[in-house]
């Protein structure tokens, strides 16, 4: 009797694409960039059974795609290949493609038959397993903000706001939650919605955000944190691909414009016990201990994990006053000026919204850091301080994180080594160290403007 390596969902995808032209095998790297291979449909079954070979160094390539020798994954080991196998249940169509195509997430092995422990998806999977060992299940939803920009940059190579498809004018006004913006861009939004349905991505809400051409698409919560982040990876690819088909540039850059709001990744989390009850169930007037301890754990881990929440030079441009971006680790109920917001809900659905990360961050690593903080708080109870009522910017100490300090804190963090493993701390730290050094060597246009003639 013949067997198939495909899950029921994988087989349904194949059955719906009888004229399949090619399949993308997708490996999200530490920066969240999608690397991998495109294979013929005839090679798919073998790929599921035996895997495909990819350089181990890919997982820690820098943001420009260069091998980071400082990670020890390049020349030091002969730039070895590792087996990468598709993850059952992740085969999905690519509805934006002009020919029938599919895609599947793949995971990298470690050379001994196990999974590479520093792979961001595996980092998150291990955190989820630690919750399971305690009879707990984190329920996660991911919110992603992004810009729809003009596909053509200006003469200096800088981004421009997009031209409104309804009015024919370049966007310049801020109309947060403005329904007319959704109507004006309905062609793009409808295409994203249809692509999400085809891929089983549980997207349920779209809103116009706080800047011209900025939008947010929310994903439904899942009692599977890894799958919730898989959804975010697929959604990002969908938004960028559909935007390109509409003559736009979909960007998750944290801060494309100095004077406009940045884009964030917000992670919503609640935790269920063995009986399916929410540990955080409570009211604002009487916050329960589990919620308070989880918040305190998140507060304690913020500085150590800032490099995961803000991994790039541009990430730190987002942390400015009065832009609905957290500038410390304070918390509060129904308050968008805090870092750890408890959204308005009925008591049974109480959850934490972690608002620190940028849209440019890797969703697996952001969610892993959030879950690690919650677990640490539950295991080591402490006091988070009183929740902030009103404007947190006026009531708390304002701090402005920076890339180099975040990197140094990460490299020496016992919390990171304990929660994610020393290998991950070393590899991710080396990757970011190389990017910081490369960035700081650049001579910018501003330097020419300020110093070339006067000095």
Mean pLDDT of 409-415: 98
- Name the domain boundary from 88, 116, 144: 116
The answer to whether residue 446 sits within a structural domain is no
Among 3-7, 100-104, 308-312, 357-361, the least confident range: 3-7
Q: Is residue 411 part of a domain?
A: yes
Q: Residue 1: which pLDDT band, with cuts at 50, 70 and 90? A: very low
Regarding whether 166 and 103 lie in a shared domain, the answer is no
Number of domains comprising the chain? 2
Does the residue 285 lie in any domain?
yes
Tracing tokens 């989820």 back to the chain, one arrives at 128
Domain that includes residue 220, residue range:
127-420
User: What DSSP line would sit under 257-311, residue for residue?
Assistant: -TTS---BEEEEEEEE-TTS-BTT--BTTB--HHHHHHHHHHHHHHHHHHHHHS-
CA 404-405-410 angle, to 5 degrees, is 100
Q: pLDDT band for position 207 (50/70/90)?
A: confident
Share of the chain above pLDDT 90, in %: 84
Which single residue is written with the structure tokens 């990360």?
357
Same domain, 57 and 196: no
Is 270 exposed, middle or buried (CB count within 10 Å of its CB: 0-12, 13-18, 19+)? Answer: buried
Q: State the Cα–Cα distance between residues 270 and 237, nearest whole angstrom.
A: 27
- According to the model, what pLDDT value does residue 23 have? 97
Residues 29-82: tens digit of each pLDDT: 999 999 999 999 999 999 999 999 999 999 999 999 999 999 999 999 998 999
Tell whether 65 and 135 lie within a shared domain. Answer: no
pLDDT in tens, 216-236: 889 999 999 999 999 999 999
State the average pLDDT for the chain: 93
- Average the pLDDT over each of 88-97, 209-218, 378-387, 438-447 and give the range with the smallest value: 209-218
**pLDDT for res 163:** 86
Let me know whether 137 and 109 are in one domain: no
The answer on 222 and 262 residing in a single domain is yes
- Residue 432 in domain: no
On whether residue 430 sits in a domain, the answer given is no
Q: What pTM value is reported for the model?
A: 0.96
pLDDT value at residue 206? 77
167 and 294 in a common domain: yes
Please give the backbone phi and psi of residue 259, each rounded to the nearest 5 degrees, phi first.
Answer: -90, 5
Please name the residue that has the structure tokens 């020393």.
Answer: 422
Do residue 223 and residue 361 come from a single domain?
yes
Q: What is the pLDDT of residue 45?
A: 95
333 and 397 belong to one structural domain: yes
401 and 369 together in one domain: yes
Q: How far is CA 91 from the centre of its chain?
A: 20
**Between 322 and 87, residue with greater pLDDT:** 87
Kindly tell me if the per-residue pLDDT of 179 is higher than 80: no
| Helices and strands in the chain, H and E counts | 13, 14
Residue 441 resides in a domain: no
| DSSP 8-state code for residue 323 | S
Cβ atoms of residues 350 and 291 within 8 Å: yes
The Cα–Cα gap between 357 and 306 comes to: 8
Q: Tens digit of pLDDT for each residue in 256-311?
A: 999 888 999 999 999 999 999 999 999 999 999 999 999 999 999 999 999 999 99
pLDDT score of 420 more than 70: yes
Same domain membership, residue 20 and residue 131: no
pLDDT digits (tens, 9 = 90+) for 103-131: 999 999 988 878 999 999 999 999 999 99
- For residue 210, what pLDDT band results from cuts at 50, 70 and 90? low
In order of 237, 324, 386, 398, the CA distances from 390 in angstroms are 37, 13, 12, 15
User: Is the predicted pLDDT of residue 175 greater than 70, yes or no?
Assistant: no
Both 109 and 221 in a single domain?
no
Q: How far is CA 393 from CA 131, 330, 390, 431, in A?
A: 34, 10, 9, 33
CATH number of the domain bearing residue 98: 3.10.20.70
- Taking a C-beta distance cutoff of 8 angstroms, is the pair 148, 211 a contact? no
Q: What is the CATH number of the domain that holds 408?
A: 3.30.590.10
Answer yes or no: is 68 within a domain: yes
Same domain, 98 and 178: no
How many beta carbons lie within 10 A of that of residue 134, not counting itself?
13
Q: What is the DSSP letter of 442?
A: P
| 215 found inside a domain | yes
């Amino acid at each position: 009797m013949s067997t198939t390596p495909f899950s029921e969902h994988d087989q349904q995808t194949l059955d719906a694409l009888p004229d399949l032209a090619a399949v993308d095998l997708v490996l999200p790297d530490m920066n969240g960039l999608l690397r991998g291979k495109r294979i013929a449909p005839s090679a798919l079954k073998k790929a599921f059974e035996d895997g495909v070979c990819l350089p181990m160094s890919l997982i820690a390539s820098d943001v420009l795609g260069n091998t980071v020798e400082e990670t020890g994954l390049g020349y030091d080991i002969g730039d070895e290949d590792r087996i990468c196998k598709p993850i059952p249940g992740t085969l999905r169509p690519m509805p934006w493609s002009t020919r029938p195509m599919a895609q599947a997430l793949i995971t990298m092995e470690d050379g001994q038959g196990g999974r590479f422990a520093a792979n961001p998806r595996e980092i998150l999977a291990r955190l989820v397993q630690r919750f399971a060992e305690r009879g707990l299940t984190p329920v996660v939803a991911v919110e992603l903000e992004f810009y729809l920009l003009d596909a053509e940059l200006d003469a200096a190579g800088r981004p421009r706001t997009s031209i409104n498809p309804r009015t024919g004018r370049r966007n310049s006004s801020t109309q947060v939650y403005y329904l007319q913006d959704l109507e004006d861009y309905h062609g793009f939004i409808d295409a994203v919605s249809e692509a999400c349905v085809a891929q089983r991505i549980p997207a349920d809400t779209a809103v116009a955000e706080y800047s011209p051409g900025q939008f947010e698409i929310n994903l439904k919560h899942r009692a599977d944190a890894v799958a919730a982040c898989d959804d975010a990876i697929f959604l990002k690819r969908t938004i960028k691909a559909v935007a390109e088909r509409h003559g736009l540039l979909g960007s998750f850059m944290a801060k494309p414009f100095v004077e406009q709001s940045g884009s964030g990744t917000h992670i919503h989390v609640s935790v269920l016990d063995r009986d399916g009850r929410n540990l955080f169930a409570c009211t604002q007037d009487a916050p329960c201990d589990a919620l308070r301890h989880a918040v305190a754990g998140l507060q304690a881990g913020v500085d150590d994990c800032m490099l995961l929440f803000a991994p790039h030079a541009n990430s730190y441009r987002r942390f400015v006053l009065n832009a609905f971006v957290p500038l410390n680790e304070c918390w509060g109920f129904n308050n968008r000026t805090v870092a750890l917001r408890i959204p308005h809900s009925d008591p049974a659905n109480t959850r934490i919204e972690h608002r620190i990360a940028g849209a440019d961050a890797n969703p697996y690593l952001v969610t892993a850091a959030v879950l690690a903080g919650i677990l640490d708080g539950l295991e080591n109870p402490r006091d988070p301080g009183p929740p902030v009522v009103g404007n947190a910017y006026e009531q708390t100490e304002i701090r402005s994180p920076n890339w180099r300090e975040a990197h140094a804190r990460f490299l020496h963090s016992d919390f990171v080594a304990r929660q994610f493993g020393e290998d991950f701390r070393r590899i991710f730290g080396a990757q970011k160290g190389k990017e910081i050094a490369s960035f700081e060597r650049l001579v910018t246009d501003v330097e020419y403007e300020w110093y070339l003639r006067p000095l």
